[in-house]
Amino acid sequence: MNELPSAAAAQAVADPPPPAPEANPPETRRRIAFGMDRFSGLYVLALIVLVFGLWIPDTFLSVQTLNGIALQQAITAMVGLGLIAPYAAGVFDLSVGSMLGLSVVVVCKLQASGVDWALAVVLTLLMGTLVGAVNGAVIVGLRVDSFIGTLAMSAVLGALVYWVSGNQQITTGISEHFIQLGQGKLLGIPLPVVYLAAVALLIGFVTEFRPLGRKLYATGGNPLAARLSGVKTDRLVISSLMLSGTIAALAGIIFAAIIGSASLTAGPPFLLPAFAAVFLGATQIHPGRANVLGTLVAVFVLGTGVKGLLLVGAQFWVSDLFNGLTLLVAVALAVRRGRPRGRPGRKDSE
C-alpha cells in the first residue's frame, strides 16, 4: 500500500526552491557599467577634453591644438607600438629611448658626411634592427634578464650618441627632401601621423589576426608551455626585439626630420611616456594584454592631459610628473588584474 506524501513533501512539490541567483545580475551589471572595464581611457579622455574645453576654450578647443597634440604624440605612440611585441613576448626593451636618440644623430651625421638621404634612412633602420638582434642575443643567448641587458644597451647607445656626433649638434648638410618627411602633409594630415597610422595597422594586424601574434602572447604568458607546444620562443623573443629596435630607429628618423637637426638629448625623454602608454594600454580595449588600440588611447590620454596642463600655465616638469604617476597607476592596475604576461626577463623554468 502506497503511503501518502507528507505535508512537507507536498509543500516542496507545490513550491519548488527558487532559482540560484545570477553571478552577475542584470545584463552583467549593464556590461560592467557601460564598458568601464575596457573603455575607461576613452571616458577619461572625454573628461579631460570637457574640463579643459570649459576652462580654456579659446586655446584648447582649436584645430591648431588638435594638430599639435597629434604631431607631438606621434613619436611617443610609435615607440610605444614598437614595445608591444617584446612586451607580449615577456621581455622589456629599455634601450628604445637611446636607440631613438642615436638614430637622430646617425641619420643626420650620414647626410652631413655626403651620404644620400634615402640611403642614410635605410642604414639607420638597419642599425636599429642590428641593435635589436644584439639585445636578443644577450637575453636569449646569455640568459641575461631583459631589464639588465637592455638597460646596459641603453647606456652603450647613449655613449655612442656623443661619440658619433663629436659632442656637437648637427644642423647643416641635412637634405630638404629628408626634412619634408617630417614636416610635410598628406591631405592636410601631418606625415608623422600618417606613418603612425601605418605602423599601428601593421602591428595591429599581426598581433590580432595572425598566428604570429598568438604565439607572441603565448610566449609571454607561459614560455615553457609555448615551447612544449612547438613555438620557437627564443626566435620570437629575438624577432620582437629586432622589431622594437627598428621601430625606435624609424621614430628617431622621423623626429630628426621634424626638427630638421640632430639633438643630442632627443631620445631618453620618450622612454617613460612610451612605457606608460603600453602599461596603461594593457588595461584598455583588451584588458590583460598589450594591444595597439589600447596603447593609442593611452598615448592620447597622456598627451591631451599634459597639453591641457601646459596651456593653463603649468610648469614644464609637469609632463614627467603626469607620465610617472600614470605609469604607477597603470602598473598597479595591471597587477590587480593578475596579468601574467610581460614579466621582466625570461626564465626557462616557467
227-260 pLDDT, tens per residue?
A: 999 999 999 999 999 999 999 999 999 999 999 9
Question: Which residues are CB-contacts of 234 (< 8 A; sequence separation ≥ 6)?
Answer: 140
Q: Is 208 helix (H, G, I), strand (E, B) or coil?
A: helix
Q: What share of the chain is helix, strand, coil (3-state, %, to 5)?
A: 75, 0, 25
Q: What pLDDT was estimated at residue 342?
A: 44
Q: Average pLDDT over the chain, rounded to whole?
A: 86
For the ranges 23-27, 41-45, 73-77, the lowest mean pLDDT is seen at: 23-27
Judge residue 264's burial from the number of C-beta atoms within 10 Å of its C-beta, 0-12 exposed, 13-18 middle, 19 or more buried. middle
CA of 303: how far to CAs of 136, 169, 192, 313, in Å? 31, 27, 16, 16
Cell 629611448, located at residue: 97
Nearest to 37 by CA among 49, 50, 48, 24: 24
> Per residue in 333-345, pLDDT tens?
666 665 544 444 4
Is residue 345 within 8 A of residue 145, CB to CB? The reply is yes
Is residue 286 within 8 A of residue 332, CB to CB? The reply is no
Q: Is a pLDDT exceeding 60 seen at residue 12?
A: no
Nearest to 344 by CA among 152, 138, 147, 133: 147
> Per residue in 174-231, pLDDT tens?
999 999 999 999 988 899 999 999 999 999 999 999 999 999 999 999 999 999 999 9
Q: What pLDDT was estimated at residue 20?
A: 52
The dihedral built from the CA positions of residue 219, 222, 223 and 225, taken in this order, carries a sign that is negative
Is residue 265 within 8 A of residue 101, CB to CB? The reply is yes
Q: Could you give the CA distance from residue 226 to residue 236 in angstroms, rounded to a whole number?
A: 11
Q: Could you give the CA distance from residue 282 to residue 292 in angstroms, rounded to a whole number?
A: 9
pTM score of the predicted model: 0.85
> Per residue in 95-134, pLDDT tens?
999 999 999 999 999 999 999 999 999 999 999 999 999 9
